Amino acid sequence: MNATARLATVASRPERVGLGVMVTLSLGVIALGAGWVAGPSAAVVAAAMLATVVGLVSVAFVGGLETRRALAPYGLLKPGILWLSLFFLAPLWSMVVMSLSSKESRFDFFPSFTWEWDNYRIALTDFRPQFLRSFGYAAVATLLTILIGFPLAYVIAFRGGRYRNILLGLVVIPFFTSYLIRTLAWGNILADEGPVVSIIDGLGLQGAFESLNIMDNGKLLNTPAAVIGGLTYNFLPFMVLPIYVSLEKIDPHLIDAAMDLYSSASAAFRRIVVPLALPGIFAGSLLVFIPAAGDFVNAQFLGNPQTTMVGNSIQDQFLRQLNYPVASAMSFVLMFIITIAVLVYTKFMGTEDLA
């Protein structure tokens, strides 16, 4: 009787119950996932989580319809939150711990946590060129994807007519092939005795390309231009598709109305089409910039030893040097910088239109 009464009291505040259960469960999942607890204590944590669920079910059972209705949002959130706890927060926590650990010797495979801030110093000083290069290349590639992607999306959206879907399909189809194969194919296309270089030579344009810094000493492959080109190519659809979606939603009557009010075509484009397409450009920029900054495939296969990006360095530190602490610090710095950049960008561009 007493227990049921207490349950009923608790059930009168369903929001707190819902929130409490969610937090408890995700903390439990993180604790298990990040390896804070192991063996018998892991069993205790698992039992506590089970008990929490049992408690939640009892509250929902006792509380009646109103309580259950109030609990429902938390129930719907739970799969996502728990998934993120296990596969994002727990690994992230492990990474932070690792990035502040140190190795006693080269083959110390279990670095111990020592507040080793030096890892961050190494990441930021020794690998500064790679960081700068990554963000530089990613920024240029993002701009190029806008310059190439916007007109493409515009033509498909406004002039595509009944071929729209086919044209969109054509944009996407090459990307059914493996990322790696496409990048390697560019290696063949841009090779010193490959088709592109021989056409450039044939037209006598080598000097022009060299002065634009696109070619270097007669080669196109293994130059910064090739890496940026590879990034641009590989991430283009991530720009085209969001811009297309924005443009496609524009009511053509808005443009007609502008023209009726004696707007010039270019003013209508500038003041109506572009602002309405901004959410697409914004989303596309994020979708291109973030993976491009962390990419290492293009630099590996299209670059040279002076174009390595931070992704290459992280891979090397992890898999060849076995320097997990520094590699973790680098990964964390990369994440941090990208997050800050995205926040600033969001502030600047605004996301209200995205919704």
Partner 1 sequence: MAGKLNRRQFLIRSGMAGAGALSLPALLAACGGDEGGSGGGGGNSLFFENWPLYIDEETVKVFQEASGVSLKYTEAYNDNNEYFAKVQPSLSKGDKIDPDVIAPTFWMAARYVQLGWAQKLPVDKIPNIANLRDDLKGQPWDKDQEYNLPWQTGVAGIAYNMKTTGRELKSVEDLFAPEFKGKIGLLTEMRDTMGLVLMGLGKNISKLSTFDEAAEAFDKVEKAKNDGQIRAFTGNDYVDDLSAGNFAACVAWSGDVLQLTKDNPDVRFVIPEEGGTNWFDTMIWVKGSENSDAVAKWMDYVYDPVNAAKITAYVQYMSPVKGVQDELVKMGGEAAPLAEDPLLFPDEATVARLQSWGALSEEEEAKFDEAFAAITGA
Instruction: For residue 313, state whether it binds partner 1 (rule: CB under 8 A).
Output: yes
Residue the block writes with tokens 């000097």:
207
CA-nearest of 242, 268, 239 to 256 is 268
The span from the CA of 237 to the CA of 293, in Å, is 17
Smallest distance, partner 1 to C-beta of residue 113, A: 18
Total chain residues near partner 1 (CB under 8 A): 39
- 116-145 residues near partner 1, rule: CB under 8 A: 126, 130
Instruction: For residue 305, state whether it binds partner 1 (rule: CB under 8 A).
Output: yes
* Phi and psi torsions of 8, nearest 5°: -65, -40
Q: Which helix (H) or strand (E) holds 112?
A: strand 112-113
**From 116-124, 249-257, 280-288, 316-324, span contacting partner 1 (CB under 8 A):** 316-324
Q: Which of 113, 117, 163, 179 binds partner 1 (CB under 8 A)?
A: 179
C-beta of residue 292 within 8 angstroms of C-beta of residue 142: yes
**From 248-256, 263-271, 294-302, 340-348, span contacting partner 1 (CB under 8 A):** 294-302
Smallest distance, partner 1 to C-beta of residue 212, A: 17
Instruction: For residue 211, state whether it binds partner 1 (rule: CB under 8 A).
Output: no
Smallest distance, partner 1 to C-beta of residue 305, A: 4
Residue 89 or 245 with smaller CB distance to partner 1: 89
Instruction: For residue 38, state whether it binds partner 1 (rule: CB under 8 A).
Output: no
CA-nearest of 285, 329, 351, 304 to 97 is 329
> Strand, helix or coil at 113?
strand
First to last CA, the chain: 50
Q: Which of 23, 206, 219, 263 binds partner 1 (CB under 8 A)?
A: 219
List the structure tokens of 295: 């990419």
CA-nearest of 29, 33, 23 to 77 is 23
Q: Output the furthest CA–CA distance in the chain (Å, rounded).
A: 94
Instruction: For residue 315, state whether it binds partner 1 (rule: CB under 8 A).
Output: yes
- 84-123 residues near partner 1, rule: CB under 8 A: 105-107, 109-110
> Strand, helix or coil at 102?
strand
**From 24-32, 53-61, 163-171, 297-305, span contacting partner 1 (CB under 8 A):** 297-305
Q: Which of 8, 27, 122, 184 binds partner 1 (CB under 8 A)?
A: 184
Residue 9 or 198 with smaller CB distance to partner 1: 198
Residue 104 or 251 with smaller CB distance to partner 1: 104
Ramachandran sector of residue 304 (left: φ over 0; alpha: ψ -120 to 50; beta: rest): beta
Instruction: For residue 301, state whether it binds partner 1 (rule: CB under 8 A).
Output: yes
Count of other CB atoms within 10 angstroms of residue 14: 22
Cα dihedral angle (336, 337, 343, 345), rounded to 10 degrees? -160
Count of other CB atoms within 10 angstroms of residue 171: 17
Smallest distance, partner 1 to C-beta of residue 235, A: 16
Can you give the binding site for partner 1, defined by CB under 8 A? 105-107, 109-110, 126, 130, 178-180, 184, 188, 191-194, 216-219, 221-222, 297, 300-301, 303-306, 308, 312-313, 315-316, 318-322
